[in-house]
């Protein structure tokens, strides 16, 4: 069973995706290298990666338990035999670290040293007689080293930013390493159990119905199931179990095929919804711009006219031009405020004087029953009050609260304004 598949351990898609990611990465590095800034970015990325990786591995090397002939010798001897059979000339350093129940392992390389880090959640299976399952996990990581997946990682870094393609290569690598590990430990059942452990945990993996679990490839379908895998660096676990079962025990493995109908329907709906939302947003923005409501509504200027804008910014030349073209100097916005109100609120003294000269009514009240004079008093602007007084403003106007401009000046204790109004 095992000898027949030795020439098929590398997953068929690994080489295809490898060519794609290498091509993209090389082009990216060439593009970056043609500029000083690009070279600096590449060097900085490499430097930061090396430093952070070195700090992490430094902590693991000192704090983790290193397997050797003195430390868990039986498993270490088995791992050594697998590494030798796999053609790894120098035995990788193996460390076990506490993981607070997390089931994981990874292979790495640092300054010429191959290392495998095994989380204690997996390594504890040794105490339960599941040495083969642990050996599968170690062999899987050895395969990453054998296939140079770790060594070329920095070369392929730019490609990892390509949606789908970079992850597709990494998933193919996982399939390859599952095959390598299964072949070299010569134990298909242990290999499947090790993968099931990642799915349900180390307490219950032995009770899982493997055939029913693999059938989830067909029964659990849809756009989000499909997308969750395509955006992941690892294949879904039922597919990993099925892949090694199909390769190493084809006669006893039922044929399974991942349904794609709902995926295509989901992709169509998702794309249509995305395009629809884009069109709706575009049309909506255009409609708001056409009605001149987008920017003005954000500022509370729903009915601001060009003359009001000019008055607010004290643009006397624009005010003169607009009036000469027929703009109504006493036009009101939705709140009943005239350009004169706008100018007073923004301390536009020259604009106020020009508007008054052009016939602006200084006694117009807005919906809040506020006249230009009362508005100037609210702001404590004695200079503005003085200017309005020069143009015959009505100081006796009484608002809905029964107050005059003078009453407000007294209430707010604006003594300079009180004096101006008393001498009126």
SS3 220: coil
Provide the H-helix boundaries in 11-124. 12-33, 36-63, 73-85, 120-123
Do 238 and 217 touch, CB atoms closer than 8 A?
A: yes
Co-location of 108 and 168 in the same domain: yes
Element (H, E) at 303: none
Domains in the chain, number: 3
Boundaries of domain holding 334: 299-422
Co-location of 199 and 329 in the same domain: no
| Whole-number pLDDT of residue 298 | 46
Co-location of 283 and 325 in the same domain: no
Co-location of 356 and 277 in the same domain: no
Co-location of 278 and 217 in the same domain: no
Least Cα distance to 311 among 342, 268, 275 occurs for 342
| Whole-number pLDDT of residue 103 | 78
CATH number of 387's domain = 1.25.40.20
Co-location of 149 and 270 in the same domain: no
| Whole-number pLDDT of residue 307 | 92
107 φ/ψ angles, rounded to the nearest 5 degrees: -110, 150
Full-model pTM = 0.64
Angstrom distance (rounded) from CA 173 to CA 147: 9
Co-location of 326 and 393 in the same domain: yes
Co-location of 160 and 183 in the same domain: yes
According to DSSP, residue 288 is labeled H
Domain finish residue from 259, 277, 310: 259
Co-location of 118 and 241 in the same domain: yes
Angstrom distance (rounded) from CA 318 to CA 306: 9
Q: Note every long-range contact of 156-162, with CB atoms under 8 Å and residues 24 or more positions apart, other chains counting.
A: 156/21, 156/22, 156/25, 157/25, 157/45, 158/24, 158/25, 158/28, 158/29, 159/20, 159/21, 159/22, 159/24, 159/25, 159/28, 160/21, 162/21, 162/24
Co-location of 71 and 151 in the same domain: yes
| Whole-number pLDDT of residue 300 | 46
- Rounded (5°) CA angle 229-158-47: 120
Domain finish residue from 250, 275, 291: 291
Q: Which two tokens stand for residue 358?
A: 């052009």
| Whole-number pLDDT of residue 301 | 45
Angstrom distance (rounded) from CA 177 to CA 146: 9
Angstrom distance (rounded) from CA 341 to CA 388: 12
Q: Going by C-beta distance under 8 Å and a sequence separation of 6 or more, which residues neighbour residue 129?
A: none
* Environment class of 298 (CB within 10 Å of its CB; exposed 0-12, middle 13-18, buried 19+): exposed
Angstrom distance (rounded) from CA 243 to CA 254: 11
259 φ/ψ angles, rounded to the nearest 5 degrees: -65, 140
**Beta strands per DSSP E along 121-260:** none
Co-location of 160 and 233 in the same domain: yes
Co-location of 325 and 390 in the same domain: yes
Q: What is the dihedral of CA 308, 310, 314, 319, to 10 degrees?
A: -100
Do 97 and 63 touch, CB atoms closer than 8 A?
A: yes
Q: Which two tokens stand for residue 128?
A: 């339960």
Domain finish residue from 240, 259, 278: 259
- Would you give per-residue pLDDT tens digits along the chain (424 residues)? 677 788 889 999 998 988 888 888 888 778 777 776 777 777 787 788 788 878 888 888 889 999 999 999 999 999 999 999 999 989 999 999 987 767 789 898 877 789 999 998 888 888 888 999 999 999 999 999 999 888 777 677 777 777 788 899 999 999 999 999 999 999 999 999 999 999 998 889 999 999 999 999 999 988 899 899 998 999 999 999 999 999 999 989 999 998 888 888 888 888 888 898 888 888 887 776 655 544 444 444 446 889 999 999 999 999 999 999 999 999 999 889 999 999 999 999 999 999 999 999 999 999 989 999 999 999 999 999 999 999 989 999 999 889 999 999 999 999 999 898 888 7
| Whole-number pLDDT of residue 61 | 86
Do 376 and 344 touch, CB atoms closer than 8 A?
A: yes
Q: Which two tokens stand for residue 226?
A: 């499909």
């Amino acid at each position: 069973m095992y000898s027949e598949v030795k020439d098929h351990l590398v997953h068929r898609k690994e080489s295809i995706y490898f060519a794609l990611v290498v091509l993209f990465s090389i082009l990216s590095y060439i593009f970056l290298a043609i500029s000083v800034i690009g070279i600096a970015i590449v060097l900085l990325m490499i430097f930061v990666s090396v430093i952070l990786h070195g700090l992490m591995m430094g902590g693991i090397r000192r704090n983790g338990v290193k397997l050797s002939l003195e430390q868990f010798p039986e498993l270490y001897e088995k791992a050594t035999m697998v590494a030798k059979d796999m053609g790894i000339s120098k035995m990788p350093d193996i460390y076990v670290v506490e993981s607070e129940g997390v089931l994981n392992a990874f292979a790495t390389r640092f300054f010429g040293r191959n290392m495998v880090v095994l989380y204690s959640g997996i390594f504890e299976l040794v105490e339960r007689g599941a040495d083969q399952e642990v050996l599968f996990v170690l062999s899987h990581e050895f395969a990453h080293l054998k296939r140079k997946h770790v060594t070329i990682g920095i070369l392929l870094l730019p490609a990892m930013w390509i949606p789908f393609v970079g992850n597709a290569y990494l998933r193919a690598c996982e399939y390859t390493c599952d095959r390598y590990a299964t072949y070299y430990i010569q134990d298909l059942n242990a290999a499947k159990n090790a993968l099931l452990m990642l799915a349900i945990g180390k307490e219950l993996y032995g009770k899982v119905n493997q055939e029913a679990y693999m059938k989830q490839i067909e029964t659990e379908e849809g756009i989000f199931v499909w997308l969750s895998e395509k955006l992941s660096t690892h294949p879904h676990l039922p597919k990993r179990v099925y892949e090694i079962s199909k390769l190493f025990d084809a006669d006893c493995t039922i044929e399974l095929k991942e349904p794609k109908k709902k995926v295509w329907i989901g992709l169509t709906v998702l794309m249509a919804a995305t395009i629809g939302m884009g069109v709706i947003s575009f049309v909506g923005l255009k409609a708001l711009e056409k009605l001149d409501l987008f920017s003005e509504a954000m500022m509370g200027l729903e009915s601001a006219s060009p003359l009001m804008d000019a008055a607010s910014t004290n643009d006397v030349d624009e005010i003169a031009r607009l009036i000469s073209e027929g703009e109504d100097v006493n036009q009101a916005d939705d709140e009943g405020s005239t350009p004169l109100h706008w100018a007073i609120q923004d301390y536009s003294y020259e604009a106020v004087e020009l508007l008054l000269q052009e016939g602006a009514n200084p006694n117009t009240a807005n919906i809040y029953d506020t006249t230009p004079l009362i508005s100037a008093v609210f702001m404590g602007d004695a200079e503005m009050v003085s200017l309005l007084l020069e143009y015959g403003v009505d100081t006796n106007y009484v608002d809905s609260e029964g107050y005059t401009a003078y009453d407000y000046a007294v209430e707010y204790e604006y003594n300079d304004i009180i004096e101006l109004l008393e001498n009126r």
